[in-house]
Structure 1
Amino acid sequence: MRYHHDDAKERAMAEWAKRIGALNLMVDDLAAMKRFYRDTFDLAPLDEDADTLIYQLGDLYLALRSDPAHQPSPTDQAALARIGVGQLALPVEDVDETAAELQRRGVTLLSAPADLAWGIRTATFADPAGYVWEISQDSD
Structure 2
Amino acid sequence: MTPQRVSLITLGVDDLDRARTFYEALGWAPAQVTPGIVFFQLDGQALGLFGRAALAEDQGRPEVPLGTGAMTLAQNFSDRAAVDAAFAQALAAGATALKPPEEVFWGGYSGYYADPDGHVWEVAHNPFITLDPDSGRFTLPVAS
TM-score of the two chains, using structure 2 as the length reference: 0.69
What code does the residue aligned with 1:100 have? A
Is 1:39 aligned to 2:25, yes or no?
A: yes
Q: Residues 105 and 118 (structure 1 numbering): CA distance in 2 closer, same or farther, change over 3 Å?
A: same
Deviations 1:67-117 (A, max 9, x none): 5151765xx72xx41xxx242100012223432344455544211111221
Secondary structure of 1:20's aligned partner: coil
Secondary structure of 1:59's aligned partner: coil
- Among candidates 78, 88, 91, match of residue 76 of structure 2: 91
- Among candidates 12, 28, 37, match of residue 52 of structure 1: 37
Q: Which residue of 2 aligns with 1:133?
A: 121
Secondary structure of 1:38's aligned partner: helix
What code does the residue aligned with 1:37 have? Y
Count matched residues. Answer: 118
Equivalents in 1 of 2:13, 2:90: separation in Å? Answer: 21
Preserved CA contact (<8 Å) 1:115 1:139 = no
Unpaired runs of at least 5, structure 2: 57-61, 129-144
CA RMSD of aligned residues (A): 2.4
What code does the residue aligned with 2:97 have? L
Preserved CA contact (<8 Å) 1:125 1:133 = yes
Preserved CA contact (<8 Å) 2:87 2:101 = yes
Pairwise mapping of residues 95-106 of structure 1 onto structure 2 (< 5 A)?
Answer: 95-105=83-93
Q: Which residue of 1 aligns with 2:101?
A: 113
Q: Which residue of 1 aligns with 2:7?
A: 21
How many angstroms does 1:30 deviate by? 0.4
Equivalents in 2 of 1:101, 1:53: separation in Å? Answer: 21
Equivalents in 2 of 1:138, 1:44: separation in Å? Answer: 26
What code does the residue aligned with 1:92 have? F
Bigger-Rg structure (1/2): 1
